[in-house]
Amino acid sequence: MSISLADAAALAAEAKDERALSELRRDVDEELEQAAREPDFRRRALAYRAIGQLRFAQKTELLRRGLEDESPACRGSALLSLELLSRDHPRLVNANRPLLHELANADPNGAVRRLAVLSLKNGSPARDTMVFLEHLADAEDDQDLSKAASSVHAALKRKAAAR
């Protein structure tokens, strides 16, 4: 049975077990790879978002490419997937920490900056991230970004204290 990437991503939300997800991933593996290389940013954004929806941990290198995509929609989709995939373990956030700091600090798109900050909450409470978030919370003109940075800083501080 052939299933589209969009349909597989939608079905992933309803998948009850790992086996069903595994079958969906197998069915769309090639299409996902192809979509991530499309000239149309909408197809690339769909591919990057599907990685998280399908909990496709084997595609983290592809996801990293999405974080560096020229399109803000693609970077945002990749950040949403990164956040979703990193909820259970900080490895993915920790591995991409410098890029997440760069996106949060300097991306021209405000929504991408906020998503990068929110993704940091699933990482380890590293000192450089704590200092960076504190600075963003205090010095940022964008109130939404400042609030997000303050919230993530507080969450990471609690995480560090619980250790």
Given a cut of 90, whether residue 13 has pLDDT beyond it is no
pLDDT (0 to 100) of residue 1 = 53
∠ at Cα 50 (73, 153), nearest 5°? 65
**pLDDT tier, 72 (very low <50, low <70, confident <90, very high otherwise):** very high
pLDDT (0 to 100) of residue 60 = 92
Digit-coded pLDDT (tens) for 15-57: 878 898 999 999 999 999 999 999 999 999 999 999 999 999 9
Spatial distance between the Cα atoms of 47 and 35, rounded to a whole number of angstroms? 6
Query: In a 10 Å sphere around its CB, with 0-12 CB exposed, 13-18 middle and 19+ buried, how is residue 94 labelled?
Result: middle
163 CB-near residues (< 8 Å, 6+ apart):
none
Please state the rounded mean pLDDT for residues 6-17: 86
106 CB-near residues (< 8 Å, 6+ apart):
none
Asked if residue 71 lies in contact with residue 79, where contact means CB atoms within 8 angstroms, the answer is no
Phi-psi group of 51: left, alpha or beta (phi > 0 → left; psi -120 to 50 → alpha; rest → beta): alpha
**pLDDT tier, 73 (very low <50, low <70, confident <90, very high otherwise):** very high
pLDDT (0 to 100) of residue 84 = 94
Given a cut of 80, whether residue 94 has pLDDT beyond it is yes
Digit-coded pLDDT (tens) for 123-158: 999 999 999 999 999 976 889 999 999 999 999 999
The residue ranges of every structural domain in the chain are: 1-85, 100-163
What's the mean per-residue pLDDT of the chain?
94
CA atoms within 13 A on the CB side of 8: 27
Give the global pTM. 0.93
